[in-house]
Amino acid sequence: MMKPAVIVPEDQPLTLATLPPGRAQRRLALGIVLASLFAFSMTAGPLSTFQLGRIDAFVPAYGTAIFVNDLITAVLLFNQFAILRSRALLAIASGYLFAGLMVIPWLLTFPGVFTPGGLLGAGLQSTAWLSALRYCGFPTFVIAYALLKDANPPKRLWEGSVGATILSSVAISAAVVCAVTVLVIASDAYLPSISIDPVRFSTFWLYFASCLILWNAVALTLLWTHQRSVLDLWLMVALCAYAIEIYLSAFVGPARFSAGWIVARIFGFVSSILVLSVLLYEITTLYTQLLRAVLAQRREREARLMTGDVVAASIAHEVKQPLTVIIAGANAGLNWLDRVEPDLDQVRGVLRRVVTAGHRADAVIENIRAHFKMGARTRSSLDIDDVRQ
């Protein structure tokens, strides 16, 4: 049984945001989700009570990895926006940029990373609230992406300057992150308590985490109902890992550096690298196809040149023979006419040979034209009874 071919309009770019997912990609995404659920069940079950010691290098390494992953993903998605001019892609690229930039104040204010209480004058609640707002911000951008995808085509495409738009998005995202950081740190004493101390979390975090998981579910549902591309598929997988990370942080590991909290950070790393991996795979695939196309075009050009040389040599050989006869006959006729008593019969014979050679050259040229003429065919009648005999 043959697989149905994926039909893509000729004027539609072959990008991650436009191509529909294939069967292999769906199976891979389902496999990752099932593996994540298995790891989640193991962490929430037998490993939920396992307590680990503090690892000072873990938080900086985790924060740096998340920042780099989200930043590269945002750059690649902005590049997709520059190609397609889609507002939806602008929204999701800004979402990854926001999520990556939010890691910076979270890392600076984390207790014990740079100073015992964190930098920037952070209080007890600053780090936890910065992390919670990051958890809330990314699905918000995913919801905007899903809703903007189905906008009217004239409103869906960006008509302004691409470079200015991307720079504006970067500046706005950075300004929002700075404003949120200043607001959280300044309001630390008035914020609802998420952290009891630098290690343990309060019961309020359980209720707030439930709202965050529900918000992720809303984003996941919108993507499910509007799914059309490979990017949609892997964003759904990333949201699943995001929701598992929030659940493990609140309900399984309500204390920093516990087994549940460590595994939650691993799920956060997985969620940040999924779309990036698919984008890098897409770039590698397109580069490979481009390289193969260039090599095939080069081989075709060399074959055409070789064929052209052979055809030119053949034409020159066929045309030179009657031309030689024409030139020799014309010279002979002139020699006969230059005599004192020219033999007109011999001159007539020479001229007849010149005319014959001219007709031969004309026939050669006509045969060459018929050979290269598109659709030129020689038809002849055939009796089927003669073939059977």
pLDDT means over runs of 10, the chain (389 residues): 41 66 86 87 67 75 91 92 86 93 90 80 85 91 88 57 87 93 89 81 87 92 85 90 87 74 86 88 82 83 74 70 73 69 70 75 71 57 51
| Nearest-angstrom CA–CA distance, 230 and 235 | 9
pLDDT score recorded for residue 183: 92
Could you give the residue ranges of the DSSP H alpha helices within the chain? 23-44, 58-84, 87-109, 126-149, 153-156, 162-186, 204-225, 230-247, 259-337, 344-372, 384-388
* pLDDT of 182: 92
Would you state the pLDDT for residue 214? 94
| pLDDT score at 324 | 75
Q: Are 71 and 104 in contact (CB under 8 A)?
A: no
Fold topology of 23-294: Rhopdopsin 7-helix transmembrane proteins (1.20.1070)
Whole-Å CA distances, 259 to 42, 51, 100, 195: 11, 6, 24, 18
What is the pLDDT, as a whole number, of residue 51?
A: 63
Q: Check if the beta carbon of residue 241 is closer than 8 Å to that of residue 270.
A: yes
Q: Cα-flanking dihedrals φ and ψ of residue 56, to 5°?
A: -65, -35
Q: What is the pLDDT of residue 351?
A: 74
Spans of all domains in the chain: 23-294, 300-376
Eight-class DSSP state of 3: P
3-state secondary structure of 86: strand
Cα–Cα distance for residue pair 89/91, rounded to 1 Å: 5
Query: Exposed/middle/buried for 100, CB within 10 Å: 0-12, 13-18, 19+?
Result: buried
How many CB atoms within 10 Å of residue 137?
19
Structural class in CATH, domain 300-376: mainly alpha
Partnered with residue 200 across adjacent β-strands are: 255
